[in-house]
């Protein structure tokens, strides 16, 4: 029975994925706020309030026509601006078997996350530990 449930869950996940095209990759640019994380067990952790937001900046590399850029953690402030610690994770987009992956690189390591969904207001990434991160586009606020 567990096997059948696992197969059905996998098929639902695969069928719900939106096909990502190369021209959609520019939608990654901007501010993304974590909404929830799904564990391999199916357990979910919701994030109601986020102290940090992920800022992605992607551009076309001049030499090899690859998409490169960075991800940086930023902290929203009450004036509508963002604070940062100036630490950036280098990234590049890799296409393998009709799937897109973000390869991150820092002084401490290198890893990949698969882009499952990339739409105007939704981003879903999956890492090698099978953790699924769902992001929503950050909507800025200001008390000005």
The DSSP code for 28 is G
**pLDDT score recorded for residue 7:** 45
pLDDT at 4 over 60: no
The two tokens of residue 16 are 């719900």
* Least trusted range by pLDDT, from 5-9, 17-21, 44-48, 87-91: 5-9
User: Sorting pLDDT into bands at 50, 70 and 90, what band is 1?
Assistant: low
The two tokens of residue 126 are 């999956």
**pLDDT score recorded for residue 81:** 87
List helix spans (H) across the chain. 2-16
State the fold for domain 2-137.
Lipocalin (2.40.128)
């Amino acid at each position: 029975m567990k096997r059948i449930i696992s197969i059905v869950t996998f098929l639902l996940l695969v069928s719900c994925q939106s096909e990502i095209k190369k021209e959609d990759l520019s939608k990654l640019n901007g501010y993304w706020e974590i909404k929830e994380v799904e564990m391999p067990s199916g357990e979910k952790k919701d994030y109601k309030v986020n102290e940090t937001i992920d800022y992605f900046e992607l551009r076309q590399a001049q030499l090899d026509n690859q998409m490169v850029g960075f991800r940086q953690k930023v902290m929203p402030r009450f004036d509508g601006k963002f604070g940062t610690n100036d630490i950036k994770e280098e990234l590049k987009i890799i296409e393998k078997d009709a799937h897109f992956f973000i390869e991150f690189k820092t002084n401490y390591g290198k890893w990949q996350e698969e882009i499952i969904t990339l739409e105007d207001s939704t981003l879903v990434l999956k890492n090698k530990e099978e953790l699924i991160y769902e992001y929503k586009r950050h909507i800025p606020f200001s008390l000005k």
